[in-house]
């Protein structure tokens, strides 16, 4: 019998892209020509942005820029190799120490991106036959990490601690890790960290929190959602967060006991086999950590802007979510409605991204609005005015 002809992989990919386009789900790149705080220039227009993750307004801070320039002048651009060869510089070591102290952990280890940090942790900790229990709304890289590690992945309904308990109890002999976002990236609400920590202690499971959206924003001196929940290293031995959100840089770290960090250096492949981040970037991130710790006014200003937005949106009858964080989603349901709303806002000079499946579940498309200490009250008012003009469906309507 003649073998069936091989599929052409590029043709198949083109068909998948066309299907996505037909479903109004095509993703498009937009080139930003210039950034000036929350103002972004694109296509020759200047738009007020509500979609960056620069929650504390640090991405263009003069102290970060100065640190980056100083170390670039002295050390150049590239780290020139992986950490374990000759890429681990004094700037990396100083940043790791500061991050460990800030989060109240014994040690910290830098990764080049948050995506790689989560792949690395899960792949180093989990083996085939282990159990990995996760919130359904966790960030994509936590889900990918568990799958890559070959663990049995169970996903519980969002924030449902009882369901997580059932999933853990169902396989009492296997090594088990429970992982959750601290603040959920597309919904902005916080995980029930204390209840999950108690569950993990009871079930002998290792607890991991991805605090990409909590670090810098929540907790005393911005130490994050784990610190805000009063949980120490003993209760949350695996803490991950990124440097690309509230800290305005790029990269990520994992913090925890020495046994974790030593093991990651040995076994986390996305750590071992990748080029260390540029030392100048590590220096900029250290400047950001210092500012995030010291400048409480940024968190206070952000909180005021969030309250102003929520108050105004409630007066307009908009369907707000339970989030009190800088991430304020407006659920619109279908992908078309979210796209139309984003386009209408752009016509009014605002940049807001429509978030559609598969990033969020089908029927849960939304505008993901984010606020920043770089915004002013007048910016929030302008956003509210533009939303009023859209005549979105009212809450419960
Ligand atoms: C952004 C994000 C990541 C990935 O971090 P990068 O440094 O952008 O790769 C991981 N987890 C969560 C929850 C995030 O929001």
| Structure confidence by residue, pLDDT tens digits, 210-257 | 999 999 999 999 999 999 999 999 999 999 999 999 999 999 999 999
For residues 89-117, one letter each, b for 16 or more C-beta atoms within 10 angstroms of the residue's C-beta and e for the rest, the string is bebbebbbebbbebbbbebbbbbbbbbbb
- 28-32, 219-223, 320-324: which range is least confident on average? 320-324
Same domain, 227 and 115: yes
User: Can you tell me the mean pLDDT for 134-148?
Assistant: 96
Q: Is residue 195 part of a domain?
A: yes
**Is 372 in the active site?**
no
What's the pTM? Answer: 0.96
Q: Is residue 8 part of a domain?
A: no
Q: Is residue 12 part of a domain?
A: no
- Percent share of the chain, pLDDT over 90: 89
Task: Give the model's pLDDT for residue 395.
Answer: 54
From 240, 376, 394, 244, select the one nearest 308 (Cα to Cα): 376
Q: Is residue 395 part of a domain?
A: no
Q: Is residue 88 part of a domain?
A: yes
Last residue in a domain, options 273, 294, 315: 294
Q: What is the CATH number of the domain that holds 368?
A: 3.90.1150.10
Would you say residue 396 has pLDDT above 50?
A: no
User: Can you tell me the mean pLDDT for 271-278?
Assistant: 98
- Percent share of the chain, pLDDT over 70: 98
Same domain, 235 and 379: no
From CA 44, how far away is CA 302, in angstroms rounded?
29
Cα 196 to Cα 103, 181, 310, 320: the distances in Å are 19, 12, 28, 26
Whose structure tokens read 């900029």?
284
Q: What is the CATH number of the domain that holds 197?
A: 3.40.640.10
Report whether the peptide linkage leading into residue 385 is cis, meaning its omega lies within 30 degrees of zero.
no
Cα 225 to Cα 198, 231, 287: the distances in Å are 16, 9, 21
Residue whose CB lies within 8 A of the most ligand 1 atoms, among 119, 184, 212, 326, for a mutation test: 212
Same domain, 69 and 198: yes
Would you say residue 397 has pLDDT above 50?
A: no
What is the count of structural domains for the chain?
Answer: 2
Same domain, 275 and 332: no
Mean pLDDT of the chain: 95
Q: Is residue 2 part of a domain?
A: no
pLDDT class of 1 with cuts at 50, 70, 90 = low
Same domain, 75 and 220: yes
Same domain, 185 and 156: yes
From CA 200, how far away is CA 214, in angstroms rounded?
21
Conformational region of residue 61, where left means phi above 0, alpha means psi within -120 to 50, and beta covers everything else: beta
Contacts of 136 (CB under 8 A, 6+ apart): 155, 156, 157, 158
Same domain, 37 and 162: no
113 Cβ below 6 A of ligand 1? yes
235 Cβ below 6 A of ligand 1? no
* 69-106 residue pLDDT tens: 999 999 999 999 999 999 999 999 999 999 999 999 99
Range of the domain at 356: 28-56+296-390
Same domain, 305 and 183: no
Task: Give the model's pLDDT for residue 24.
Answer: 81
Beta bridge partners of 268: none
Q: Is residue 5 part of a domain?
A: no
Residue whose CB lies within 8 A of the most ligand 1 atoms, among 52, 239, 244, for a mutation test: 244
Q: Is residue 35 part of a domain?
A: yes
User: Can you tell me the mean pLDDT for 196-213?
Assistant: 98
Same domain, 71 and 112: yes
Last residue in a domain, options 243, 274, 294: 294
Last residue in a domain, options 294, 324, 348: 294
Same domain, 255 and 360: no
Task: Give the model's pLDDT for residue 200.
Answer: 98
Q: Which of helix, strand or coil describes residue 386?
A: helix
CA of 388 to the centre of ligand 1 (A): 32
Would you say residue 394 has pLDDT above 80?
A: no
Q: Which of helix, strand or coil describes residue 198?
A: helix
Angle at CA of residue 213, ends 392 and 363, nearest 5°: 35
Same domain, 51 and 96: no
Task: Give the model's pLDDT for residue 266.
Answer: 98
Same domain, 304 and 263: no
Would you say residue 322 has pLDDT above 50?
A: yes
pLDDT class of 271 with cuts at 50, 70, 90 = very high
């Amino acid at each position: 019998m003649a073998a069936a002809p091989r599929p052409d992989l590029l043709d198949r990919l083109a068909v998948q892209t066309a299907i996505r386009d037909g479903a109004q789900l095509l993703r498009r790149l937009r080139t930003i020509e210039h950034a000036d705080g929350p103002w972004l220039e694109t296509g020759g227009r200047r738009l007020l942005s509500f979609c960056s993750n620069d929650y504390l307004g640090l991405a263009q801070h003069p102290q970060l820029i100065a640190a980056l320039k100083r170390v670039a002048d002295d050390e150049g651009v590239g780290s020139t190799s992986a950490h374990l060869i000759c890429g681990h510089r004094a700037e990396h070591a100083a940043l790791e120490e500061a991050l460990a102290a800030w989060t109240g952990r014994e040690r910290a280890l830098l990764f080049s991106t948050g995506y790689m940090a989560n792949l690395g942790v899960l792949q180093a900790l989990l083996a085939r036959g282990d159990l990995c229990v996760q919130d359904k709304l966790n960030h994509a890289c936590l889900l990918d990490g568990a799958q890559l590690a070959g663990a049995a992945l169970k996903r519980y309904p969002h924030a449902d601690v009882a369901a997580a308990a059932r999933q853990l109890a169902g396989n009492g002999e296997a090594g088990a890790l429970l992982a959750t976002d601290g603040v959920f990236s597309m919904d902005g609400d916080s995980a029930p960290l204390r209840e999950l920590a108690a569950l993990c202690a009871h079930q002998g499971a290792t607890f991991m929190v991805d605090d990409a959206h909590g670090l810098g924003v929540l907790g005393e001196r911005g130490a994050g959602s784990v610190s805000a929940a009063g949980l120490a290293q003993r209760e949350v031995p695996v803490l991950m967060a990124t440097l690309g959100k509230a800290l305005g840089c790029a990269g990520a770290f994992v913090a925890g006991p020495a046994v974790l960090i030593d093991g990651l250096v040995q076994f986390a492949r996305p750590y071992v086999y990748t080029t260390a981040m540029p030392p100048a970037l590590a220096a900029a991130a250290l400047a950001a950590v210092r500012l995030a710790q010291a400048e409480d006014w940024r968190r206070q200003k952000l909180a005021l802007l969030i309250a102003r937005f929520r108050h105004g949106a409630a007066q307009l009858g908009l369907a707000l979510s339970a989030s009190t964080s800088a991430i304020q989603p407006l659920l619109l349901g279908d992908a078309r409605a979210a796209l139309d709303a984003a386009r209408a806002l752009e016509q009014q000079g605002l940049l807001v991204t429509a978030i559609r499946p598969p990033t969020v579940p089908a029927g849960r498309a939304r505008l993901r609005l984010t606020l920043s200490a770089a915004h002013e009250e007048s910016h929030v008012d302008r956003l509210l005015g533009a939303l009023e003009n859209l005549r979105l469906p009212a809450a419960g309507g």
